[in-house]
Structure formats: C-alpha cells, structure tokens
Structure 1
Amino acid sequence: MDVLNLKLQDFSGMSFDCDCGMKHSLEIEQIVYGQEITQDIIQAAHQYSAGGKILTVCDQHTYKAFGKNVQEAFLNAGLDSSVYLFTSMHNLLPDNRQIGKLLIEIPNDISLMVAVGSGVINDITRLVSYKMKIPYMVVCTAPSMDGYASATSSLIIDSTKNTITGHLPKAILADENVLHKAPGHMIKAGFGDVIGKLTALVDWDLGVIVLHEQKCPVIVSMVNQAVEKCIKNAQGVRNNDKQVVANVFEALTIAGVTMGLNKNTRPASGAEHHLAHYWDLKAIEQNKEHALHGESVGIGTVVICRLYELAKKVLPQGIQCPSPGYITELLQKAGAMVSPTQIGVTRQDFEDSLVHGH
C-alpha cells in the first residue's frame, strides 16, 4: 500500500502489512474534510447512534463556532439530539471537576456522543464515552492539536497531567471553512504542535539506539511528509492562508493517525511534550491561564533542539536534530511564540522543567 500518496480520508479503516514487520491498522471508520459537510455529519451521527439518542458536547466558544449549526442540523434531520454545554467562564480544563460533572449529568440512555470542539472537548468526550461504553465522533472546530485521531486523552487528574487510555472516535469530520475561521492563535498553536514532530522523531531515533525500540520507516516518512508540507509556507500561517490552514490540519491528523498505526505516541510526541505538560501544570498550580498545548509544544521544541545541540559531543552516532535557530525561524515566520517567557514561564519553573519534566 502506497500510504504516502493517500488522501486524508483514505486513511480511515486502513490495514496493511508493512515492510517493518508490523501489521498496521486504524480503527477510525471515517475521516471527512471539505466544504459543506453538514450532511456527512448527519449521516455519521445516524449511523453510529443506530437511531438512539445523541449528546452533542460543546463549550460556549465551540457552540458558537459550529455546535449550534450541528445541533440544528440533527434536529432538522429528525435525530434525537440534546446539547451538553460546558459553561466555564475561563478556559475549560480537562480536569477531575469537568470530567466528573459530565459523567454525573450525562443521561443513561445516550447511544452516541458528538464532540464539537478541539483539544479539551475531544479529550473529555473521549474519556467519558469510553467509560460509558458508547461510541463517539468528533466535529473539529480548530486545527490546534494532533489529538483528534488519538485513542488517549491528556487530562489533569489531581493537579497532575496524565495520559489516560480511551478509544478512537468512529469518525473525524472537519469543515474547512470552520477551521479557517478559527482564532489565529489556535492555528499558530497547531503549527507549533506540527513543528514538535521534528524533535519527537529525533527522540525516537535515540530510543531505537538506547532502548532498542522498533521504528517504522513508513510511519516516519508519513510524519516528515506532512510536516514538510506545512513548513514550506510557514508565513501562510501568519497570513491565514486557507491552503496552509488545511495543510496544518492535515499534518495534525496524519500525526494522530501515525500514533494509531504505531499503537503508541512515539511518531508525534517526545521531550518537547513533556516540557509543555510541565509548564501547563505549573500555570494551573499558580492559578494562571496556561498557554495552548501547541504553543507550549512549539516553544518546547526550540528548547529540546538547544539541549541536543549542547549534548552533540556525547550523543550516539547518527542522531541529528534541527538547530534551535532553524526552529525559531519557522515559528517566527508563522507568527508563533518562541520563548518560555512569552507564555509566562519563570526562570525557576523553566529550570525545574528541565529536571522534572518527564
């Protein structure tokens, strides 16, 4: 199977025997990206609810962005759908309180959950649907992170960031006009998350040498190809170029797909993510608004590249990491942040993250 030339929607349900010796498969049944996809959303909801009740999960921002349209479309199509609206006045956190609130308030007879949102809404809905043993699908509202195609949720449990097992969505659906209208800082965050794949792959190389991990060249090529498409026109992120926004979403989704194919997060998440999670938790501990995931990841990528640069004399042969200057230049072209100080990380917290961010 020539996976490097597949269109995004062709990854759904794929299964193939790879030259690396593994059998790769993906249990996501539908990936839809395009214009005017309302009918696709209705059909998917009808299929996966099997005529039962649907709960559409949003927050105030995602309800305005697309959730209201989705709910109206469901009702007009005769589907039995209700809305669960998170009403937090601040940025919604995927923590014990919000997860527990949804678990307590969700009706017992729901057949399908529909997440309308991006990172936090998707993570919460994934976990709750998994615990309820019902399917879910996600309608994306921003190209801000790579977790749409993941089977795990990044959640804050007892003030600690944890990766919690859940399940894959039955379908990922995204309207390109909705994504293009997403707030600019969310699109830049998505670009930052894409850039993080460059150090994640270097970490994987190191894992192969030091820990004797298995690495799939096809999956590496999938990630590199998707990243390359984005960085060729990083300036387009700053300018909100529609095709570049589409490239960012495609790269993020493919990164998620590769984690599903590899059955772990190696292809798309490395030390840059550990720093990002540590900084998030410190902000939460200090009752401060934390940066978007992709913003932190992009900055973390600069830091990890600098650490690889400092360690180059003691690294095993064959480990090659991009220079921190190159990553900084890409992020600046996109209008993204490049320094921990820009997201409120203090010198002490930065130093602590290098020691404890793992």
Structure 2
Amino acid sequence: MTQDILAQIVSGTYPDPDGGAPLQVATRSVVMARSLAGDEGELVVPLGLGPRLAVVSDRTTHGVLGARVERALAAKGEVVSVILPNRPHADSETVATIREATASADALVAVGSGSINDLCKYASAQDRKPYVVFGTAPSMNGYTSVNAAITVHGHKKSLTAHAPVGAFMDLSVMAAAPVRMIRSGLGDSLCRPTAQADWLLAHLLFDQPYRTMPFVLLAADELPMLEETDALVAGDIGAMERLVRTLLLSGFGTAIHGNSQPASQGEHLISHYADMLGDPGWPASFHGEQIGVTTLSMARLQEAMLEGPPPELAPDRNSEAEFVKRFGEAIGKSCWAEFTQKRLDSPRAAALNQRIAERWQRIRATIAEVIYPVSLLEKALARANAPMKPQDIGWPEPFYRTALRHAREIRNRYTFLDLAADSGRLEKLAERI
C-alpha cells in the first residue's frame, strides 16, 4: 500500500478512512524517484502551465538543482530565472519581491524546501498562478500542503495558499542534502503524536471537527521511519524514501482537511513564538530542528496532564494591555484578536469543567491511544544525533521557559498548553519539561 498510496491520492482513488468520498487533492502529479536528472522538462510540460515559467531558487538551491531545472525547461519554452539570497525570509516583504520578479510569468517553479516553497506557494496564490515544486531537502512537510507559514508585520501566521500542481522529489538530491536538513525533516515528522493529541483534545472538549484520515495516511511508514533514523542520516536511499513519503503524505493530510490542524499544534506554537520573539543574534536553526525540540516538550506536558488528576479550569485573566506589553503594539493586538476566540470566560470554564467531570476518564483513554511514550521520540532523535534540548539549537533556557508559558497566546488553537494554563499547572510544568 505504501508504494502506491501517493498515486492513489493524486488519482482520487484512495478511500476516505472516515467514510466519505475518495480523497481528492488539487495536486496532479507527484513523482519521487532515485534520480530525476534529465526528466525535469517531461515532468513539467505535460501539466500545461504556460509558455513562460519563472524558476525561483536561492543561491544554494540554484547550484544544487535550480540551474539543472532551468536548462531543462529552457529547452521547452521561455524561462525567467529568479535567484534569491541564501536562506530567504518567508515574510510578506519577500513575497512582494517574488511577485514583482515573476509578474510576466505564467507559472512559478519553486526549487528549494521550506521557505522557497512557502514563498512561491503564497506568491503564486496571490497572483492566481499555478506553481510546481522541485524539492531539494527533506526538511519539512509543507511541499504538498495548502498553507504557507508567512511572517506578516512580525506575526508568524499560517496563511491560506494553494497546493502545487506538481511535486517532484529526486531522492539522490534529498539524500545529499546537509545532514541538519535531514534531521529537520525527521523533527517535523516527529510531531504527529503531539499534534494529533492536541487536535483530539479540542475535539473532545469543544466538539471541534476532527478526522483520522491524516494519521491513517502516515501509519504504515511512521514507526519504521522512527526506528531507522541512524540509516536516514547516513544517506540510505530506502530510509530517505520513507521520510519523503511521510512528509508528502503529511502535507496531503492538511490539504485534504483544509488547514494545518493535523500537523501543527502546541509544538508549532512554541516554535513560532521563538521565531517571532527570539534574538536574531542567536544561531540559526531550521524549522524541523525546532519542532523536534518542542515536540519533546509537548509530549512531556501531555503525559503529565494525562497522568495527573482531572484538570479544573478557571476563567482566563489576561487582557489586551498585557498582550501589548508582552508582544508590542502591533503583534500584541494581532495575537489578542486570535486569543480571544478561544479565551475562557466564566460560563465557558464552567461548561468545560462539567464536561471534564463527566468524561475525563474517556478523554484521557482516547488521547492515550494516539500518543507515543516520550522515550520512543527521544530515541529516534538521539539515534540521528538530532537536537533534543533548547540549548542544542541556541535557545537560552530562560527564554524557552517563557515561550512554553506564552506560546499559546499567539493563535486560536486550543492545545494542552491551554489546558495546563487554564488549570493553573503550566507555570510549574514549564520548569521541568
């Protein structure tokens, strides 16, 4: 099943695990092979994107794959080459730069990984143009998603964009990526249990919509992948294929659901908080490296909350003035607008306490079925020599404790961070997770 699951999803023949119609995605072609050298034009041209294509890369990814893609496409039509500085920021200013540089193009061809993909995904969506992506590193799960992580006026947001028409993964290129980027993809994959637990919590407490589909897609590959992380970072093509398939399927899970809920919960909020408020002078870290670290914290928090007594929730006492003081004027007001949508007042707290009193044992048992022991997640990262502590990625411990306490405030997504805070346990737990 794992060999053809991507093809089934793209063709619309994969049955919905939740009982609906067969799964549908906007992506029309996904090709993952040991090598795609010489096939780039044949992969893109049949998609009918138009005669003038803008190939967007940065200086590094242009050398790794972008120049090769440009040559192949130039033999088929007109190519606009857009080469960004290394490690471009996925922010609204860079989106504007790309839109201006690709104004005359019919479609965009992204050559890169996280930031390049998000920038092209969002810029092309804004201009109502299609895009395809050639991945250069297995560093994140956003290749096939419909959301883009874009920073707007300092506030990192998950913005609605659109799916790539085609996603093309050369496994030899992926396996030759810097080992930190491979570890980053592992870290981004690690959060399935914590993200599912958070989403399931919101479903069981608030009756929010929830699907098993995104997690069924990952089930066959997940444990084998976590058990071969040493082979993965050693360049094993079979292990790389499993990771890349996991990343693509995770992106499809969010695309089919319609937002990032299946793959981005409390662990991502902590990472986004650090991106927004961390010191630019700290060592640079990849998104997935951060998620590996924050996933371990969320797994410990979830474990502590599930093992403890039923939580008793109190109304939230935060105010907009406190948010502005904590985050600054613009970001504080933007975060407050998000937070107030999930903020507990007295009636909501009372209703939740009633539900918890009646159902906590069932809630706890249901969530316990979808998580892994913290030790399993730790071993997966340790075998790959991946970052496991905030200090490993240059985050000072005092800052990280602050991030654990306040990351929940940046987005309207109720997670175990909120449950711990609303029950008065987050302050103490933040000191030991």
1:11 maps to what in 2? 9
String of CA shifts for 1:226-275, please: whole Å, max 9, x gaps. 32231121221232222111111111111111111222223222211111
Counterpart mapping for 1:242-261 below 5 A: 242-261=237-256
2:100 maps to what in 1? 104
String of CA shifts for 1:163-203, please: whole Å, max 9, x gaps. 11111100000111111111111001101111111211111
Q: Establish whether residue 317 from structure 1 lines up as the match of residue 313 from structure 2.
A: no
Stretch of structure 1 that moved more, 11-20 or 186-195: 11-20
Q: Does the Cα contact within 8 Å between 1:54 and 1:110 map onto a contact in 2?
A: yes
Query: In the TM superposition, what is the alpha-carbon distance from 1:50 to its structure 2 partner?
Result: 4.5
2:300 maps to what in 1? 306
The structure that is strand-richer by fraction is 1
Counterpart mapping for 1:1-358 below 5 A: 6-14=4-12, 18=16, 20-23=18-21, 24-38=23-37, 40-75=39-74, 77-88=75-86, 91-106=87-102, 108-283=103-278, 285-312=279-306, 313=308, 314=310, 316-318=363-365, 319-320=367-368, 321-358=371-408
Q: Does the Cα contact within 8 Å between 2:41 and 2:76 map onto a contact in 1?
A: no
Q: Quick one: distance in 1 between partners of 2:245 and 2:6?
A: 7
CA pair 50-160 structure 1, distance change in 2 beyond 3 A: closer
Query: In the TM superposition, what is the alpha-carbon distance from 1:44 to its structure 2 partner?
Result: 3.7
Count, aligned residues: 351
Q: Quick one: distance in 2 between partners of 1:272 and 1:326?
A: 17
Q: Quick one: distance in 1 between partners of 2:17 and 2:231?
A: 36
CA pair 6-207 structure 1, distance change in 2 beyond 3 A: farther
Query: In the TM superposition, what is the alpha-carbon distance from 1:15 to its structure 2 partner?
Result: 5.4
Identity %: 23
Query: In the TM superposition, what is the alpha-carbon distance from 1:206 to its structure 2 partner?
Result: 1.3
Q: Quick one: distance in 1 between partners of 2:107 and 2:293?
A: 37
Query: In the TM superposition, what is the alpha-carbon distance from 1:49 to its structure 2 partner?
Result: 4.7
CA pair 85-270 structure 1, distance change in 2 beyond 3 A: same
Query: Could you tell me which amino acid in structure 2 is paired with residue 99 of structure 1?
Result: V
Secondary structure, aligned partner of 1:317: helix
Structure 2 gaps, min length 5:
311-359, 409-433
String of CA shifts for 1:305-351, please: whole Å, max 9, x gaps. 11112212236321223333332121001111100111121223212
Q: Quick one: distance in 2 between partners of 1:356 and 1:49?
A: 47
Stretch of structure 1 that moved more, 323-332 or 190-199: 323-332
Q: Quick one: distance in 2 between partners of 1:211 and 1:286?
A: 38
Query: Could you tell me which amino acid in structure 2 is paired with residue 28 of structure 1?
Result: T
Q: Quick one: distance in 2 between partners of 1:156 and 1:289?
A: 19
Query: In the TM superposition, what is the alpha-carbon distance from 1:6 to its structure 2 partner?
Result: 3.2
Q: Quick one: distance in 1 between partners of 2:282 and 2:266?
A: 23
Q: Quick one: distance in 2 between partners of 1:43 and 1:5?
A: 22
Q: Does the Cα contact within 8 Å between 1:122 and 1:148 map onto a contact in 2?
A: yes
* Structure with the greater alpha carbon radius of gyration: 2
CA pair 114-92 structure 1, distance change in 2 beyond 3 A: same
String of CA shifts for 1:118-143, please: whole Å, max 9, x gaps. 00000000111111111000000011
Q: Quick one: distance in 1 between partners of 2:271 and 2:58?
A: 23
Q: Quick one: distance in 2 between partners of 1:183 and 1:256?
A: 22
Q: Does the Cα contact within 8 Å between 1:130 and 1:166 map onto a contact in 2?
A: yes
What TM-score do the two structures reach when normalised by structure 2? 0.76
Secondary structure, aligned partner of 2:217: helix
Query: In the TM superposition, what is the alpha-carbon distance from 1:5 to its structure 2 partner?
Result: 6.6
CA pair 19-288 structure 1, distance change in 2 beyond 3 A: closer
Q: Quick one: distance in 1 between partners of 2:111 and 2:48?
A: 16
Secondary structure, aligned partner of 1:149: coil
Q: Quick one: distance in 2 between partners of 1:203 and 1:343?
A: 24
String of CA shifts for 1:77-127, please: whole Å, max 9, x gaps. 232112100024xx3211233222222232x33111000000000000011
Q: Quick one: distance in 2 between partners of 1:50 and 1:179?
A: 25
Stretch of structure 1 that moved more, 333-342 or 320-329: 320-329
Secondary structure, aligned partner of 1:215: coil
Q: Quick one: distance in 2 between partners of 1:280 and 1:50?
A: 35
Q: Quick one: distance in 2 between partners of 1:36 and 1:128?
A: 29
Structure 1 gaps, min length 5:
none
Secondary structure, aligned partner of 2:133: strand
